């Protein structure tokens, strides 16, 4: 993979400055996102990544997750890479896709390790990859390292869509904008809010910001803390076109959720 030149940091800072200026003007004019739908009748199931990422998830729980996803016609199931092979077998012949998370949940592994995990996950049957950004490199303003990290996963994935998990609860506004900018530059398919393990989840404000930065060319996935249909609709109205949650059934049926965490 060809590494980006030394001009990357200057480019990112220039783009970030321009975006922040634009956002400040939008706030002053009280502009809101018009990307999402405001309809309460929207079918949320095709937007949901039905998720089970607990480290103690059993094979029986993965089987149940896949059965639920097929029954309710969710878009995908999202599991740890060690479970994606089983999920792929269980979902074979259905329209539900298996997702594997990579570098999860810290994002602190090397770019080459994430690339290898991506290749292994795809070999096992993953049809989408959710990778965690290198948060330490981002906070160190080492944008080249962040870009190379994302790009390594994107190249390993080939035609398989890659979502970049930003862990927004740990970032300030400028860092969120830079993370989105780098994800877009690295040709990721989506930016995603949270792992669900980092002490915070999706917020309407973050979804609006992410959508404004990436535009309509990329997807935006809201994940973490989405428990009800009302929560989900707020995220969609803010600009999300994918929802990561373990409360999927409660969201589409209107029942109360008894799940904890993600």
Active site residues: 130, 192, 221
Nearest CA-CA partner of 112 in 103, 104, 121: 103
**How far apart (Å, rounded) are the C-alpha atoms in residues 42 and 221?**
17
Helix (H) or strand (E) holding 177: helix 173-185
Strand partners, 99: 78, 128
Residue with tokens 């996963």: 153
Helix (H, G, I), strand (E, B) or coil at 90: helix
Q: How many CB atoms lie within 10 A of CB 213?
A: 24
With beta carbons less than 8 A apart as the criterion, state whether 129 and 121 touch: yes
How many other β-carbons are positioned within 10 Å of the β-carbon of residue 150?
Answer: 25
Burial category of 242 from C-beta neighbours within 10 Å (exposed 0-12, middle 13-18, buried 19 and up): buried
Spatial distance between the Cα atoms of 84 and 80, rounded to a whole number of angstroms: 6
Backbone φ/ψ region at 141: left (φ over 0), alpha (ψ -120 to 50), beta: left
Distances (CA, A) of 52 to 11, 166, 179, 260: 38, 19, 25, 11
111-124 and 143-157 helices, crossing angle to 10°:
20
């Amino acid at each position: 993979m060809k590494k980006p030149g030394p001009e990357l940091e200057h480019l990112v800072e220039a783009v970030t400055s321009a975006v922040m200026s634009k956002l400040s003007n939008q706030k002053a004019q009280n502009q809101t996102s018009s990307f999402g739908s405001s309809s309460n009748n929207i079918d949320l199931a095709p937007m949901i990544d039905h998720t089970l990422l607990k480290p103690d998830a059993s094979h029986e729980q993965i089987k149940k997750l896949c059965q639920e996803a097929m029954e309710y016609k969710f878009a995908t199931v999202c599991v740890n890479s060690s479970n994606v092979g089983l999920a792929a077998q269980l979902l074979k012949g259905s329209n539900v896709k298996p997702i594997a998370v990579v570098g999860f949940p810290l994002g602190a592994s090397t770019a080459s390790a994430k690339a290898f995990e991506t290749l292994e996950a795809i070999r096992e049957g993953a049809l989408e990859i959710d990778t965690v950004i290198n948060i330490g490199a981002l906070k160190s303003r080492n944008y080249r390292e962040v870009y190379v990290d994302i790009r390594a996963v994107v190249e390993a994935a080939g035609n398989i869509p890659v979502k970049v998990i930003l862990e927004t609860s740990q970032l300030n506004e400028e860092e969120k904008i830079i993370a989105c900018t780098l994800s877009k530059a690295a040709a990721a398919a989506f930016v995603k809010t949270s792992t669900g393990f980092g002490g915070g989840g999706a917020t309407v404000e973050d979804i609006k910001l992410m959508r404004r930065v990436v535009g309509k060319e990329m997807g935006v996935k809201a994940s973490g803390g989405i428990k009800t249909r009302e929560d989900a609709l707020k995220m969609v109205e803010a600009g999300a076109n994918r929802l990561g949650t373990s409360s999927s059934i409660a969201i589409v049926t209107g029942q109360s959720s008894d799940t904890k965490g993600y």
